[in-house]
Every structure is written in structure tokens, then in C-alpha cells.
Structure 1
Amino acid sequence: MDSVELFFISLGAAVVVYYGVKLLLFSRMLFPKLWFPLSKTFFTSMGEWAVVTGASEGIGRAYTFALAEQGMSVVIMSRTKATLDQVAKEIGDKTGQRVKVIVTDFTKENVFSEIEDQLKDLNIGVLVNNVGILPSYIPCKFLESAELDQTITKVINCNVKTMVKMCKIILPGMENRGKGVIVNISSGVASIPFPLYTLYAASKVFVERFSQGLQAEYKDKGIIIQAVAPFGVSTRMASYQKTNIVTLSPEDFVKSSLQYLKAGDKTNGSVYHIIMGWLLQSMPLKVLYAESVLNNLQDYVKKIAAQKASLSASSATLQNGRNK
């Protein structure tokens, strides 16, 4: 056997081993309870309190209930006091856990010193950085965004700055105790450069890279830091689309995503979203970036928005008729 033949045999064997390992690692994602089990006391062993930003609805609200059901007291943060108070009551009634409400608007400047004061005496074991804003539900080009300067500031403050500042506030306590969990909510659209959602997708790329770098820095301290990048979840940001095999309810998504907490520094949070991420990254960008594809995406979202608006108007008319 000459050296050239030996080289190609070795190369072929290396390729088979490489893809075999990748297939094995992917197969683990199909059975998270088997490969990444969590004990019943896992969350309470991290600390007494969980802090969730953007907790008044959607994914944040679902994380709040899930962590309270695990026995944690929870701090819920958002900008609407009435909604937070209602969520706090529901959590207390359902789980019996303590709830602390902090009202704040993360799109604003200089809100973190007050937050730090309110959190300083708490033994915080879990932080979920969920709060985020979508510049426009209808996809559009960057320069076509309404009130662009204000939009840029709000997206950076809410999607980027808040996550970093909350980590700065809470991470030191976790480092001192040698344990803790930080979950930073990214988005599936950050898997690739995503036209028409450019600013939003880019802000979520920051979430992922920051989380992955931070995990590398603090993993040896006993702290889990993970970026969670969902695709379809039926929330206000997604215009409450009907749930199906791909579009999950916030509760189902959170239940699934927590099973992947030990699966690495990034997860899409569910089997179907993991598959979607793989498909999206495998797609040639020239196909996705074709003008016809982008136009169809824009038209589809506009159609969904119009249907929702029409349904809301019809419901309001019917309700008014009943009230007369």
C-alpha cells in the first residue's frame, strides 16, 4: 500500500469518525432527560431566589412559574405593575412561593442602581435574562424602521445592555458561593445573518457570544451559563400564533428548554427547534436572501398581522354588542 492510498484511507476514516461523533452528539439531544438529568433539588440547591426579567408574559412568565414550582422564591421584573402584581398573585396562589415585584423599563437609561439595591440581600441561584424587544413585528429593511434612532437605543438597551448589567449585578454572588445558573434568551433567527430582522438578530448574536464567552470564564466556578435560542413560541412577539409541533406554548417550551440546561452553552430548547436550527444553517444563504423569498416572508407576516387585527376588531364589536 503506497503512501497516497494510505493517506486517503486515513482521511476517509477520520471523516467517518468525525461525522459519527457529530451524529452521536446530535442523538443525545433527542433524549435530554436521559443524557442531561436534573435532580429534584437541583434549582433550590443553586440558591433561594430566582430572578426573571420580562416576567409579566410569554416565555418570562413561564420561566417564573416553572422555577416557583421547583420550590424557588422569585423576583419578577417588567414595566407594567398591574400585570406583575397579577402574576405575583397567581404564583403565590398556585405554588405558595414568595414573589418580589420590581417595576422597571429596561429600554430606559440608568435603571440598574435601583435594581441592584433591591437585589443585594437576596441569595440568588438562578437568573433568567428574558426581556427583549422586536423593533417591528412586520419585517423591514434597517433604514425603513420607524423612529430609527430611538429604535436603535431601545433595542441595544433592552436586548444587550440589560443582559450584561444583570449579569454584572448577580454573577459576583454566584461566584462567591461557587454555584448558580444564568439563562440568557436569544433567538433562532440569530443562527444566521437574518435580513429584514437585522437589528434584532444581531442583538441576539451578542446574547449568544456573550453567554458562551462567560460560560468559558466561569464554568470552573460551578456556574452554568447558557444561551437559549427558540424559534416558534406563541407569544405576543409572535402574534400569538396557534401552537403546533413547531410553534410551542411558552409553558411547553420552557419545560423542554430546562431539560437541556446541562447540554452546553447554547441550545434551541426543544427537539424540533434544534432540527430547525440545523436546517436553517444548512440552507444556502443565496436561497434565503433571494428577493422573492424575502418578499414572501414580508407578505406572510403582514397577512398574519392583518388576520389577527381583523379577529380582534370582530371580537371587540361583538363584545360591544353584548354590552349594549
Structure 2
Amino acid sequence: MSFSDVLATIGGLTVAFYLLKLSWTCCCGLREYFLSKLWQVNLRRYGQWAVVTGATSGIGKAYACELARRGLNVALVSRSAKKLQEVAREIEKQYGRKTRTIQVDFTEGHSIYPAIAEQLQGLEIGILVNNVGMVYSDCFTYFLDVPDAGQKITQLIYCNILSVPQMTRLILPGMVERKTGLIINISSEAGIRPQPLLSLYCATKIFVTYFSQCLHAEYKSMGITVQCVAPFIVSTKMTNMKVNSFVKSAPEFAHDALNTVGHSNYTSGCLSHALQDMALAILLPDWIRMSSFLIIKLANQAKRIKSERRVCKENLKIKLK
């Protein structure tokens, strides 16, 4: 066999490998985002109650309402007592499910978890949604330019990282005892493809991703499913984005993402975000995303937006006077 024949064989095998990989990806995507609409897992099989952190707005509220719509009672955990009561009343009135509200601030660290454990006693918790999270008040900021950086770093780590294993530690033992349970951890696309100027936020989200994948491997033989959900942009107060072809509303996203339970242990949550993930991988390689030019451009744009918002607020105050 000549050298050219060897190269041709290697080339053919490489093409065949990538075609096989593409076919497998398409089959998984078909099951995850299309067949899942027809073949939905009955979430009540995990237990009577679901616990959702960060449940008063955005993705957390959407998950809480969708879980209630699918027949579960919901324990809502967040920091605003007023908003907790509003969401609880909405769920009870619209879906006829029981609720329990737990007011805590996840930025306060370890001290809050004994109180949460006490208020969850006696509940058959089948589903835990670790959703609570926060980002810098000023998006796209150089690390040293984060306002009150020392405090913000601690709060971000307590909220985005510590909350996930601590809530899991509280609820997982009961699931293991019953040999069934579902833990949904909300990560982010930013945890898969890190974005400079969001350094700490991205780092917290990759923790959620790795923790979820390892936890699933450890406990799947005991009947526990751990799903990591890594969305693109969802229209929430955190993102401040309007719904469009690329940005999902929180209720629509939660509906689609819950359909993927039982079909995928790692998901973008919906077809639109999965396609965006593929496109980003092809069109925006790491060397471009990490380039100084793009970083400076994003930083300048963020500063411009911040300045415009400040001017608008000042003008509004003048008009009110």
C-alpha cells in the first residue's frame, strides 16, 4: 500500500467518524427536543413535593409554576417574603397545589441551611431545583472594577456555588432512602464557554456543571437522576432581554426543559438554545472569544450602556421634581 493510499484511508476513516458522531448527535437531539414532547416523564413518580430555590422570579418561578402545573406541591425558597407569598398564592389559585414558603438570603453563607432543613422536615421531596443565582450588577466588567469587589465575590460564591451542594446535602439523603429522586441544577452556557468580563460568574457555573455530572454518576445506581441545565439567554430580570427568536421566555423555557427530564442528563433546555450552542462552537472559537479586541469592545459597550442608564435615571428624577 502506497503512502497516498494510507493517507486516503486515514482521511476516509476520519470523515466516517465525524459523520457517525454527527448522526449520533442528531439522534440524541431528536429524542431530547422532539420525542420528549410526546413521551414526558411523570414527575410525580419522584415524590409529592418539589423544592425550588430562587423561586420568586425568572427561571425559578417558571420552574415552580410548571412543576405545580404537572401536579407537584412546591416549597418556594427565596429572600423576599412578599414575593414568596405572591408566587405561593398564584400557584395555589391557578394549579390547586400546596405550597410552603421559606425566606432566606443565600448570600449569607452557611448559617441559613439549618433553618431551611427545619422547615422542610416532614415533606416527601422528590424534586430539587437548584436555581438561585446572581451576577454582577454591572455586566461585562473587569474583575478589579467590580463595585465592592470583596463583598460581591463572597456573595456570588455563597449564592451560585455554596447553595448547590448545601441544598443537595439536605435533600439527597431522603431521596436515597426512597431510592428515587430528581435534582435539577441550573448552570449556564457561560460555564461551558467562558466569557471574559464575566470571569467569576462563569467560574461559578462550571462548578455547577461538573458537580452535577459527577453527582449523577455517583447516585444514578441508587435511582437518583441529576440533570444539569445550561441555558443560553432567557428573558428574566437578570438578563434584561426581551423575548425574540433567540431569547426564550422563562415559562416557555421551563416547560421545554422539564420535557427533557429522563431523556438527557445534560441539556441546553430547548432546541433554540441547543442550536445556538452548536453555532457558537463553530462561528466563535475560543481564540476570538478570548481576544483582547473583543474584550475591550464589550467593556466599552457595557460602560456606554451604564452611562446611558445613569443619564436616564437622572432625567427621570428631574422630571419627577
- 1:100 corresponding residue in structure 2: 100
- 1:23 corresponding residue in structure 2: 22
Q: Distance in 2 between matches of 1:107 and 1:25?
A: 42
What's the offset of the Cα at 1:252? 1.2
What's the offset of the Cα at 1:198? 0.3
- 1:260 corresponding residue in structure 2: 260
Q: Distance in 2 between matches of 1:43 and 1:314?
A: 50
Provide, for residues 127-153 of structure 1, a one-character-per-residue CA deviation record: whole Å limited to 9, x for no partner: 100001102332111111111111111
- 1:205 corresponding residue in structure 2: 206
Structure 2 SS opposite 1:115:
helix
- 2:295 corresponding residue in structure 1: 294
- 1:111 corresponding residue in structure 2: 112
CA 1:144–1:306 in structure 2 vs 1: closer, same or farther (change >3 Å)? closer
- 1:80 corresponding residue in structure 2: 80
Q: Distance in 2 between matches of 1:116 and 1:79?
A: 16
- 1:272 corresponding residue in structure 2: 272
> Is 1:158 aligned to residue 159 of structure 2?
yes
Q: Distance in 1 between matches of 2:13 and 2:207?
A: 34
Q: Percent identity?
A: 35
Structure 2 SS opposite 1:231:
coil
- 2:234 corresponding residue in structure 1: 233
Mean Cα deviation higher: 220-229 or 272-281: 272-281
Q: CA RMSD in A?
A: 2.5
What's the offset of the Cα at 1:302? 4.5
Q: Distance in 2 between matches of 1:299 and 1:169?
A: 43
What's the offset of the Cα at 1:180? 1.2
CA 1:35–1:284 in structure 2 vs 1: closer, same or farther (change >3 Å)? same
Aligned length: 318
What's the offset of the Cα at 1:13? 4.4
Q: Distance in 1 between matches of 2:293 and 2:216?
A: 40
What's the offset of the Cα at 1:182? 0.7
Mean Cα deviation higher: 131-140 or 71-80: 131-140
What's the offset of the Cα at 1:317? 8.5
What's the offset of the Cα at 1:257? 1.4
CA 1:315–1:147 in structure 2 vs 1: closer, same or farther (change >3 Å)? closer
What's the offset of the Cα at 1:61? 0.2
Structure 2 SS opposite 1:209:
helix
Q: Distance in 2 between matches of 1:35 and 1:13?
A: 33
What's the offset of the Cα at 1:273? 1.4
> Is 1:191 aligned to residue 192 of structure 2?
yes
CA 1:259–1:289 in structure 2 vs 1: closer, same or farther (change >3 Å)? same
What's the offset of the Cα at 1:295? 2.6
Q: Distance in 1 between matches of 2:234 and 2:54?
A: 15
Q: Is the 8 A contact 2:253 2:270 kept in 1?
A: yes
Q: Which amino acid aligns with 2:285?
A: P
Provide, for residues 128-179 of structure 1, a one-character-per-residue CA deviation record: whole Å limited to 9, x for no partner: 0000110233211111111111111111111011100011111111112121
Q: Distance in 2 between matches of 1:305 and 1:204?
A: 25
- 2:10 corresponding residue in structure 1: 11
Provide, for residues 195-239 of structure 1, a one-character-per-residue CA deviation record: whole Å limited to 9, x for no partner: 100000000000000000001111122221111111111111112
CA 1:141–1:245 in structure 2 vs 1: closer, same or farther (change >3 Å)? same
Q: Distance in 2 between matches of 1:156 and 1:236?
A: 20
Q: Distance in 2 between matches of 1:248 and 1:84?
A: 24
- 2:60 corresponding residue in structure 1: 60
Mean Cα deviation higher: 107-116 or 17-26: 17-26
